[in-house]
Amino acid sequence: MKNKYKIILTTSCLAITLIAGCKDSFLDQSPSSGISTNIALNTEADVKSAVLGMYSGMRAVDLYGRTFPIIGDLLADNSFIVSNNSGRYTAFDRYVVTPANGNTTGIWNSAYQAIDRANRIINSTPAVSVQANVDQYKGEAYAARALLYFDLLRAFSNTNTQTSLGVPIVLSFDYTALPARNTVAQVYTQINADLAKAYTLMTQFSSTARISKYTARAIQARVALYSGDYTNALTYANDVITNSAFSLLTKANYNTYWANAAPQTAKIETLFEVNSDAISNLGFDSYSNMFVQPPGGYGDVLCTTALYNLYSATDVRKTLFKVGSRGTSNPAYFILKFPNVGGDKDDTKVIRLSEVYLIAAEAAYRTNDIVQALGKLNTLVAQRDASQVYASIGTQLLDDIVSERRKELAFEGDRLFDLNRLGRAITRQKAPNAVAATDYRRIQPIPQSELDVNTNIPKSAQNPGW
């Protein structure tokens, strides 16, 4: 992937997302951010340092640090950019992204950089002090690689067609390689193999800032739901619910949970989050700055009226909004879900137990276990809005589950991908107001910079419409 890594080097220098300076190699960084590609991971301590560097890479601005979760709601029907804005993500807001878009290119480059860090951990052969520790580190890398490939697939591919072009699978560093796009089916096979391996290797839990055994299982449940493997989606989700010892976020501690910027050591709600702290964070580029109103943040992103109106007056989730006015939006629905812009920045929640309950509910519905579907749905909803008890059947039950996914996971980056996998049109508050299920712009273009240098991804392999 010779030229791809040159692109990544340039991007990381310009974006200053990972380090304060740029070296000869994009992995030639201090141990806190990664280990140079020409230094072997010889010891258990080396591998641990590389794991921390992998997580640092996942915090990149155009990955989980900001862009990926932003576009998941902005391209859908949950949020929009206010007219008086800082200039960020306006192309996505107007649906005028091009293959040369810097944020789209950044997702691609940042994900492959993080994948390379995971690959180095997976392929390492360190001297072992404690086998369980090395197994844990490698398990985290397998799960991270799977997550990254899944999100690349969701962003850049039509995941509803197994034979369509997916993304290149790269399992080891090769400076000369120019990998072609694998099919969606092939990428799913790799993702599932990595998650199965991760699940068997990991035995330790330290905090929500690190991937653990049941993080891998929860991601497996998500992947199975998206790929239409509903039997396994239900099995994996129930494994997490029954055996992980994690507990649901309750109505009583809901606001405290979202106000807390630190990762947790207790097994409450969060299965994995990409961590920032007072020292290692993206500063003004952090995700929370997009929501917090000036002068504290940019305040560029507002909630749509349609989403706000879904929450009843007794729904605790409605407390994470403030009604006011901003520019031409009157009333404006300010988002209070990510309040921390100073000191310890907000972490990016990647997967939570609440989503696992919703996965179980939908998978049970899809496998005709209506009693279990309602049970899982109502167990979650009871902790958000005690006045709401679902008793629906048929397609109305599916619609209720999808609606609860929208309300529960709002601004966490899932809405677009949910609508894509469901094949549903998007009704937006801003133009274009109607985006058909078949609109090519719902899938991101392969970056122009990749097409320009990678002869194995010719222009004919670009996503249709771009």
Confirm whether 337 is domain-assigned. no
Contact 332, 323 (CB under 8 A): yes
Confirm whether 299 is domain-assigned. no
Contact 72, 159 (CB under 8 A): no
Q: Which pLDDT score, from 0 to 100, does residue 328 have?
A: 60
Confirm whether 194 is domain-assigned. yes
Contact 117, 63 (CB under 8 A): no
Confirm whether 83 is domain-assigned. yes
Burial class of residue 3 (count of CB atoms within 10 Å of its CB; 0-12, 13-18, 19+): middle
Q: Which pLDDT score, from 0 to 100, does residue 460 have?
A: 93
Q: Which pLDDT score, from 0 to 100, does residue 345 have?
A: 86
DSSP 283-336: GGGSGGGGTSPTTTS---EEE-HHHHTTS-TT-GGGGGEEEEEETTEEEEEEE-
Contact 15, 61 (CB under 8 A): yes
Sign for the CA dihedral angle at 298, 251, 316, 390 comes to positive
Instruction: State how far the Cα of 47 lies from the Cα of 269, in Å rounded to an integer.
Output: 28
The per-residue pLDDT string of the chain (466 residues; one tens digit each, 9 = 90 and over) reads 444 443 333 333 333 333 333 332 222 222 233 444 546 899 999 999 999 999 999 999 999 999 999 999 999 999 999 999 999 999 999 999 999 999 999 999 999 999 999 999 999 999 999 999 999 999 999 999 999 999 999 999 999 999 999 999 999 988 889 999 999 999 999 999 999 999 999 999 999 999 999 999 999 999 999 999 999 999 999 999 999 999 999 999 999 999 999 999 999 999 999 998 888 899 889 999 999 999 999 999 999 999 999 999 999 999 999 999 876 657 899 999 999 998 878 899 999 999 999 999 999 999 999 999 999 999 999 999 999 999 999 999 999 999 999 999 999 999 999 999 999 999 999 999 999 999 999 999 999 999 999 999 999 999 999 9
| Domain CATH code at residue 87 | 1.25.40.390
Phi, psi of 111 (to 5 degrees): -65, -45
Estimate to the nearest angstrom the gap between the alpha carbon of 240 and the chain centroid: 19
Confirm whether 150 is domain-assigned. yes
Q: Which pLDDT score, from 0 to 100, does residue 11 have?
A: 35
Q: Which pLDDT score, from 0 to 100, does residue 31 have?
A: 27
Instruction: State how far the Cα of 231 lies from the Cα of 226, in Å rounded to an integer.
Output: 12
Instruction: State how far the Cα of 2 lies from the Cα of 178, in Å rounded to an integer.
Output: 6
Confirm whether 179 is domain-assigned. yes
What's the domain range around 114?
Answer: 2-248+423-461
Confirm whether 131 is domain-assigned. yes
Nearest to 111 by CA among 75, 151, 142: 151
How far from 324 is each of 40, 52, 82, 287, CA to CA, in Å? 55, 41, 13, 21
- The count of domains in the chain is 1
Question: Could you identify the residue written with the tokens 């209720």?
Answer: 400
Confirm whether 191 is domain-assigned. yes
Q: Which pLDDT score, from 0 to 100, does residue 39 have?
A: 66
Q: Which pLDDT score, from 0 to 100, does residue 323 have?
A: 95
